[in-house]
């Protein structure tokens, strides 16, 4: 590296070079999320045609060679020579950033694609991309590769109707894994069909030879019905509201007996998984509407001092679909969060509509009010219980499970709870730990799958209850973050299939019943090794710890007759205390994975698929992923 810094060090990236150099800036990364973002970018262009009344049918095809095509019956891209670039318009759109018809309201009144970069980004990151346009009675076609045109726009023949088709194969130089997930694509297409009532979307899988059609005349009403079908809705009709003037807004709400809430928000059909100004306005609106209704009706019952936003949202399932005209401010190209301040104008619209509906439907309103007041009562009872405990200064360890080996420190942020599988691993972990700040809780085998279990089974399960008591926060209405006893909760299971299964069961429990601990970064996965490899002998011997068969094989392939000894750890209990400490428990030498949720909608879907009651959905997932399996521990 040179210490000089001159004009020669300044690079000017031309055309789409910047996209290929830093793809993460445009699609969020080159992993699975980024790969599927390519599909979303092209899909959203077709959806925008439907949003503006120009398209009624979109067809998405997953081809056997790994490519994907998206076709609509919209107006078809312009094909004439563009006055600014001197190139045909198709080439101009696919080879230049910030080029498109969505910068004003003339071509598109509302649109999900706003920056004019989506098509060009997909082109830049595709090994092959083919655009076909039906327009003016002709079928036009042009081929591209890695951001550059491979020939001009050619007339391929006559065509009936209009529309655009884009076929692309992701670039192997950019994406290490180019296998698309049918489940991801299916869920995104179904969501789009829900959001645009009457739009027909077909998904065809050439590899499996299957075809599925999504079309929902009821729009988000049908969407809400699907979401609450797996919950326990209360005996009240859902609230539905539609407004179409300076903005287009549609809201659907239902309350359930669940203790968590689920808000799915969208802007111009784009899922805003990180929320934003529109979601904040929605939350404010429903809280104020319910409060006002309760105050005007009979006031609050004796003993309830107030209604919080959490009380109103407990058990609520809601869909908020907003369509904004003109400039829309998203956070980043992948658009997970809305920043537009003008979205706050929907607050009085939702508030007035919900409050009016509650007064006009007293029977429905009484059931909803009872649900909200029940949440408020539970919250206050929980608060009172906490205050009582604090006032009596009861020793916190009196109600802890007997098999918990607690630590001596009471400083939450400096302590760790290891949840380990089995008494054998528990014994080894107790010997390897630092008693000052590390606690050990053994759990027996594969714990309860809470995704399928009733509340009664949850309460009766000793392993689950031991975890709840050890963590200290309680669950559901009794949850209190302030009572959390450990800064890190570390799931430490064997590095084999059974261990991964147990870890998944534990993650399901934390995600469904203690999601706040995941959101605040308290839940971790330990990384115990699968093998110990000793290379050489005597003083020159080297000990390596590896975590997969692939890593082991790579090390062994490099050895040329040196002495090699391989030991597989079938479980944590087989490790002696010094080995377990240095590889898995010592903060100075271990590796921890922090559990995070990047996409609430997708994460929820994964747990429903893998751990839920729908066997067919899980079979489809396994069938789709079977070809990706490389290491199978049997």
Look at residue 143 and give its three-state secondary structure. Answer: strand
361 contacts 236 by C-beta, under 8 angstroms: no
Which residues participate in catalysis according to the annotation? Answer: 421, 494, 496, 498
Closest by CA to 41, choosing from 148, 124, 99, 121, is 121
Which residues are CB-contacts of 133 (< 8 A; sequence separation ≥ 6)? 76, 77, 79, 90, 139, 140, 141, 163, 164, 165
Count of Cβ atoms closer than 10 Å to residue 430 Cβ: 17
CA-based Rg of the chain, rounded to a whole angstrom?
28
Task: Give the position of tokens 């919209």.
Answer: 74
Q: How large is the greatest C-alpha to C-alpha distance in the chain, in angstroms? A: 86
Closest by CA to 79, choosing from 168, 169, 162, 15, is 162
611 contacts 451 by C-beta, under 8 angstroms: yes
Look at residue 564 and give its three-state secondary structure. Answer: strand
Burial tier of 264 (Cβ tally within 10 Å: 0-12, 13-18, 19+): buried
Closest by CA to 240, choosing from 222, 221, 264, 216, is 221
Q: Is 538 left (phi over 0), alpha (psi -120 to 50) or beta?
A: left
Look at residue 86 and give its three-state secondary structure. Answer: coil
| Per-residue buried b or exposed e for 535-555, using 16+ beta carbons within 10 Å of the residue's own CB | beeeeeeeeebbeeeebbeee
DSSP one-letter code for 583: I
418 contacts 439 by C-beta, under 8 angstroms: yes
Closest by CA to 137, choosing from 164, 153, 160, is 160
| Phi and psi, residue 193, nearest 5° | -65, -35
Separation of alpha carbons 286 and 48, rounded Å: 30
**Pair of tokens at residue 445:** 């085998």
């Amino acid at each position: 590296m040179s210490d000089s810094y001159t004009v020669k060090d300044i690079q000017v990236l031309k055309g789409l070079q910047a996209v290929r150099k830093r793809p993460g800036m445009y699609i969020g990364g080159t992993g699975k999320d980024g790969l599927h973002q390519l599909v979303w970018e092209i899909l959203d262009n077709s959806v925008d045609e439907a949003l503006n009344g120009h398209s009624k049918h979109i067809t998405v095809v997953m081809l056997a060679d790994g490519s994907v095509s998206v076709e609509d019956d919209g107006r078809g891209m312009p094909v004439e020579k563009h006055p600014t670039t001197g190139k045909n318009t198709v080439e101009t759109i696919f080879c230049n950033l910030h080029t498109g018809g969505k910068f004003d309201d003339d071509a598109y009144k509302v649109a999900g694609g706003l920056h004019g970069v989506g098509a060009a980004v997909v082109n830049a990151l595709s090994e092959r991309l083919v655009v076909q346009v039906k327009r003016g009675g002709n079928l036009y076609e042009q081929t591209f590769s890695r951001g550059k045109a491979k020939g001009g726009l050619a007339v391929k023949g006559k065509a009936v109707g209009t529309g655009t088709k884009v076929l692309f194969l992701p670039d192997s130089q950019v994406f290490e894994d180019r296998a698309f997930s049918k489940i991801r694509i299916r869920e995104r297409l179904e969501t789009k069909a829900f959001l645009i009532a009457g739009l027909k979307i077909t998904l065809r899988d050439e590899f499996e030879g299957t075809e599925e059609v999504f079309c929902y005349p009821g729009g988000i009403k049908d969407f809400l019905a699907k979401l609450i079908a797996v919950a326990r809705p209360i005996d009240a009709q859902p609230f539905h509201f539609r407004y179409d003037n300076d903005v287009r807004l549609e809201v659907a709400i239902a309350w359930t007996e669940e203790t968590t809430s689920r808000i799915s928000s969208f802007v111009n059909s784009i899922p805003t998984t990180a929320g934003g100004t529109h979601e904040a306005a929605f939350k404010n609106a429903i809280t104020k509407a319910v409060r006002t209704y309760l105050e005007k009706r009979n006031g609050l019952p004796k003993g309830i001092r107030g209604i919080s936003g959490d009380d109103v949202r407990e058990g609520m399932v809601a869909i908020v679909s907003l369509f904004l005209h003109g400039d829309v401010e998203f956070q980043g190209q992948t658009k997970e969060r809305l920043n537009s301040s003008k979205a706050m104008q929907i607050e009085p619209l939702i508030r007035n509509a919900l409050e009016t509906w509650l007064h006009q439907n007293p029977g429905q309103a009484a059931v909803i009010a009872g649900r909200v007041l029940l949440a408020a009562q539970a919250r206050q009872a929980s608060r009172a219980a906490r205050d009582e405990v604090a006032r009596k200064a009861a020793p916190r360890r009196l109600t802890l499970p007997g098999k918990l080996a607690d630590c001596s420190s009471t400083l939450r942020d400096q302590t760790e709870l290891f949840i380990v599988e089995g008494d054998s691993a528990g014994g080894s972990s107790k010997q390897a730990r630092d008693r000052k700040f590390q606690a050990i809780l053994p759990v027996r085998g594969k714990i309860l799958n809470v995704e399928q279990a009733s509340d009664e089974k949850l309460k009766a399960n000793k392993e689950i209850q031991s975890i709840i008591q050890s963590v200290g926060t309680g669950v559901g209405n009794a949850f209190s973050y302030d009572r959390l006893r450990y800064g890190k909760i570390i799931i430490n299971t064997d590095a084999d299939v059974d261990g991964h299964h147990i870890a998944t069961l534990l993650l399901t429990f934390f995600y469904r019943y203690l999601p706040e601990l995941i959101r605040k970064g308290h839940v971790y996965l330990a990384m115990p090794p699968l093998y110990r490899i000793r290379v050489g002998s005597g003083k020159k011997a080297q000990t390596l710890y590896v975590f997969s068969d692939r890593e082991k094989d790579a090390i062994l392939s490099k050895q040329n007759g040196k002495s090699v000894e391989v030991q597989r750890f079938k479980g944590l209990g087989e490790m002696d205390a010094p080995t377990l400490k240095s590889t898995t428990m010592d903060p100075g030498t271990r590796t921890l994975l922090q559990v995070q949720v990047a996409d609430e909608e997708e994460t929820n879907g994964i747990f429903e698929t893998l751990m839920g009651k729908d066997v067919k959905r899980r079979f489809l997932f396994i069938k789709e992923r079977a070809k990706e399996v490389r290491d199978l521990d049997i």
